[in-house]
Amino acid sequence: MYQLAVGQLDEAARQMGLQENIWHRLRTPQRACMVSIPFREDDYNTVQTVFGYRVQHLTTMGPGKGGLRYAPNVDLGEVTALAMWMTWKCAVMKLPFSGAKGGLRIDPTKLSPGELQRLTRRFTAEIIDVIGPDRDIMAPDLGTDEQVMAWIMDTYSAQKGYPVPGIVTGKPLEIGGSLGRKEATGRGVITCMLEACRETQRDVTRQSVAIQGYGNVGSVSARLAARAGAKVVAVSDAHTGIFNPNGLSIPDVERWVSEHRWLDGYPEADTVTNEELLELPVDILIPAAVENQLRADNAGSVKARLVVEGANGPTTMEADVIFASNGVMVVPDILANAGGVTASYFEWLQSRQQYLWSEDQVNDQLVRLMKEAYVAVSALARDRNVSLRMAALFLGIGRVAEAKRRRGMFP
Ligand code: GLU
């Protein structure tokens, strides 16, 4: 993943003629905090050593901002790549943040709530010096949710001696979370999908959509795509995918998942694998699961003409080349999934000002900023005759480079 993030930076820097001093500065993170923590399982006698990371790609643009993921294969390279993408994402959206990301190398599905809580609190205590509402603000990502954010907020606040809601975003409403934050990434994805349809004169009510991933991003994307009139024909989770060429009833699928947790066994559809889902005969594909899904070996088999990236890093550079030559339009992750961090920005503002926005306020501002960013990226892509990914990178990297130049260097 680090190779992919740096490869994209190198390619963009080369094409935009970025000054070499700044280019090299951007290739490695400014700060990386690595910890190993003891974690006591529910079986009192078993103590595991767990590895944790928090990477701040920059400190130039404002406090660090980005998610925290719990997954069994998390490593420093992955977290660094994700931190770098957060930098470009925030710059594309003009948010006053520098990119950051964190991770714990553990499978959260194997932990009890008590175990998850102990692990989260110890990790927070271990990295307490590098985080803060003015320093680095975490949010949910793969394998973490609003409950994890609540424990981080509580641990941090207990250390300070007063409540510090601005330490995390994506927290529960009861402790200062924002209306609309949970749905924001999916809302941003679908806003981009609709903008891309408008721009290419596709009638959204005639588009079929396949969505890989049925977590927070995928499920909200499915709901909002269906509400916009598109025909959602396939969705998948970590275990299985479901496909109905006549369209899935998303309310039914939601009910099924709320009762059974997984999609497996859903009656009104055929079963497909996650790999097969990517190659289904659909108009629009939304990868909203994990990285490295669209590669040299399968990109040529993708039938969709529009790909909107809900996940971070789902497409390799080789797949991008194949998509370009096949005329497949890709709305890149650093634009398409930026709705989450944009609503996180709104939440952080609300936490700091102790002033709550209405849900309409959040959604209206979110959609407005997403549309503005889409239009800016798309105009630059046309102007420079490059892909939307290159244009988004030009915009993000260019803004960061300009900020670095303005701030100068110490000493
Ligand atoms: N984890 C999300 C992302 O990758 C959200 C980050 C945030 O809200 O800070 O964009």
Other Cβ atoms closer than 10 A to 115? 18
Q: Stretch 360-379: mean pLDDT, rounded?
A: 98
Q: Stretch 225-237: mean pLDDT, rounded?
A: 98
Domain 26-164 matching CATH 3.40.50.10860: the answer reads yes
Q: CATH number of 184-336: 3.30.300.100, 3.40.50.720, 3.65.10.10, 3.40.190.10?
A: 3.40.50.720
Residue nearest to atom 4 of ligand 1 (CA): 67
For ligand 1, whether the C-beta of 66 sits within 6 Å is yes
The pLDDT tens digits of the residues spanning 252-307 come to 999 999 999 999 999 999 999 999 999 999 999 999 999 999 999 999 999 999 99
Question: What confidence category does residue 375 fall into, taking pLDDT thresholds of 50, 70 and 90?
Answer: very high
Write the CA distances from 306 to 131, 203, 284, 297, integer angstroms: 38, 13, 5, 19
Q: Stretch 82-97: mean pLDDT, rounded?
A: 98
Strands (E), 12-75: 31-40, 47-56, 64-71
Question: What confidence category does residue 166 fall into, taking pLDDT thresholds of 50, 70 and 90?
Answer: very high
Write the CA distances from 129 to 223, 271, 351, integer angstroms: 40, 48, 20
**Residue 345 CA to its chain's centroid (Å):** 14
Of 341, 345, 346, 369, the residue with max ligand 1 atoms within 8 A of its CB, to mutate for a pocket test, comes to: 341
pTM, full prediction: 0.97
**Whether residue 101 lies in the annotated active site:** yes
Distance between CA atoms of 59 and 111, rounded to whole angstroms?
A: 34
How high is the pLDDT of residue 358? 98
How high is the pLDDT of residue 88? 98
Question: What confidence category does residue 26 fall into, taking pLDDT thresholds of 50, 70 and 90?
Answer: very high
How high is the pLDDT of residue 183? 98
Tell me the average pLDDT of the chain: 97
* Catalytic one of 89, 101, 171, 231: 101
**Same topology between domain 26-164 and domain 184-336:** yes
Cis peptide before 281 (omega within 30 of 0): no
For ligand 1, whether the C-beta of 337 sits within 6 Å is yes
User: Where do the structural domains in the chain lie, given as residue ranges?
Assistant: 26-164, 184-336
